[in-house]
Amino acid sequence: MRFRSQLQRQLTLALRRLGLALRSLRLALAPAVGEVPAGLAGVWRLKTFVSEDVQSGERKTVLGHRPNGRLVLTSSGQVLAILTARKRAATALLTDADRITAYDSIIAYSGTYHVEGTIFTTTVDIAWNEGWVGTNQVRHYRIEGSTLYIETPPTPSADHGGRTVRFLLSWKRES
């Protein structure tokens, strides 16, 4: 009986130590909050950019059917994004209408980002739209193979008549 009791105590102690060791290993291997997960840092080329009406599910292309775009996410937490429509006006002398069209057909910003789970948040320091400077842009992401999928939280959009939309982007890894 005494042997069995002693064996149970030793087994219980060993299991506790194993549990602590496994928790420590899991914490050591998991990215820390704010650390860039493996596979996210890199250079990405825009494949698709659509808006989705949250109520109806209707989707519309943003910046045309084949938009241009590059997203650079560094392992040190820097981000640079530029997205444009194809075939923008390329003349030296732009009319006011050309300037409005050019402004409406570009999104560009940079800043720092941090990651928590499947969410990355960019603190914008430079942007084509001054209203973004100093803001936090929150995005959900997932990576499947060499494709990065990004989704914005639902938000009312003036460009969509005040309806609530979310934006869905897909990016192909370049490096």
Tens-of-pLDDT digits for all 175 residues of the chain?
Answer: 665 566 566 655 554 664 544 444 343 343 444 577 879 999 999 999 999 999 999 999 999 899 999 999 999 999 999 999 988 777 677 888 888 888 888 999 999 999 999 999 999 999 999 999 999 999 999 999 999 999 999 999 887 788 999 999 999 999 9
Which pLDDT belongs to residue 110? 97
Per the confidence metrics, is the pTM higher than 0.85?
Answer: no
Cα(132)–Cα(151) distance, integer angstroms: 17
State which amino acid sits at residue 115. V
Tell me the CA distances in angstroms from 70 to 47, 62, 87, one per residue in order: 10, 15, 16
Superfamily per CATH, domain 42-173: Uncharacterised protein PF14869 family, DUF4488 (2.40.128.490)
Place of tokens 């057909």: 105
Residue 150 to residues 22, 31, 44, 121, Cα–Cα distance (Å): 33, 20, 12, 12
| Identity of the amino acid at 136 | N
**Alpha-carbon gap, residue 137 to 67, rounded angstroms:** 21
